[in-house]
């Protein structure tokens, strides 16, 4: 069954990375890189890999790309590519030394199921790193950010020829609790969490099995 977010990303696949660079003022890769410094060497699952934009910052590791959207994976330079979802990872227990996920968690059907699956496929002592967007902390900053994305993201959607799809991305920022709460309990231990970007609307989290 195709989920609404999957249809959105299938439609904008060829323009997705360019728009990300524009919307982040060219900083989206530096935010990924800060997260990947916490990953161990070895085999890493790039969860929600999309077009494989994270490959340069995962250099030196054996990377397996997983994404639910074939149109995105078809554009990826990563050799090992699997169509699948985080809630049902098609891998054996303890397959990976690390799991990396960037700008994906707010689009998941179930964060709880995905974290359980990530814990299952990680070896003992393995590390998961999540980088994503969230509303800033504090009522005033969150309100300003919400007003800003209500304007900027639909305009980006117009540039991509998909205004309704980018309105969905605006709404997705309110779909989950703050990361400080979301990762506080579960099958993985929260080892570190930091905020980045203007008003702190980007976060990184390190989770250990």
CB 90 within 8 A of CB 84: yes
pLDDT of residue 128: 98
Does residue 198 surpass a pLDDT of 80?
yes
Kindly report the backbone phi and psi dihedral angles of residue 167, in degrees, each rounded to the nearest multiple of 5, phi listed first. Answer: -65, -35
- The pLDDT tens digits for 117-141 are 999 999 999 999 999 988 888 888 8
Average pLDDT over residues 18-36: 83
Average pLDDT over residues 99-110: 93
Q: Which residue has the higher pLDDT, 143 or 1?
A: 143
CATH superfamily placement of domain 4-208: Vaccinia Virus protein VP39 (3.40.50.150)
Give the contacts of 8 (CB within 8 A, at least 6 positions apart): 162, 165, 168, 169
Does residue 2 surpass a pLDDT of 70?
no
- CA-nearest of 127, 135, 102 to 28 is 102
Tell me what the pLDDT averaged over the chain comes to. 87
Does residue 29 surpass a pLDDT of 90?
yes
Most confident by average pLDDT, 5-19, 155-169, 195-209:
195-209
Average pLDDT over residues 7-26: 67
CB 174 within 8 A of CB 150: no
pTM of the model: 0.86
Does residue 1 surpass a pLDDT of 60?
no
Q: Which residue has the higher pLDDT, 205 or 109?
A: 205
- The pLDDT tens digits for 153-196 are 767 666 666 666 666 666 777 778 999 999 999 999 999 999 99
pLDDT of residue 15: 64
- Which residue is associated with the tokens 């250990």? 208
DSSP code string of 141-161: HHHHHHHHHHHHHHHHHHHHT
To the nearest whole percent, how much of the chain has pLDDT over 90?
A: 60
């Amino acid at each position: 069954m195709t989920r609404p977010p999957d249809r959105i990303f299938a439609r904008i696949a060829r323009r997705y990375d360019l728009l990300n660079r524009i919307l982040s003022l060219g900083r989206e890769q530096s935010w990924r890189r800060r997260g990947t410094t916490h990953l161990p060497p070895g085999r890493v699952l790039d969860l929600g890999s999309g077009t494989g934009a994270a490959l340069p910052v995962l250099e030196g590791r054996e990377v397996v790309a997983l994404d639910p959207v074939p149109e995105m994976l078809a554009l990826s330079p990563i050799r090992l590519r699997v169509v699948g979802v985080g809630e049902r990872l098609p891998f054996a227990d303890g397959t990976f030394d690390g799991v990396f996920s960037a700008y994906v968690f707010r689009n998941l059907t179930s964060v709880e199921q995905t974290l359980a699956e990530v814990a299952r496929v990680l070896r003992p002592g393995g590390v998961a790193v999540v980088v994503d967007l969230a509303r800033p902390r504090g009522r005033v900053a969150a309100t300003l950010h919400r007003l800003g994305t209500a304007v900027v993201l639909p305009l980006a959607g117009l540039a991509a020829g998909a205004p309704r799809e980018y309105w969905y991305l605006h709404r997705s920022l309110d779909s989950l609790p703050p990361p400080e709460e979301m990762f506080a309990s579960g099958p993985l231990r929260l080892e570190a969490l930091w905020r980045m970007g203007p008003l702190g609307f980007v976060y990184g989290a390190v989770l250990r099995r």
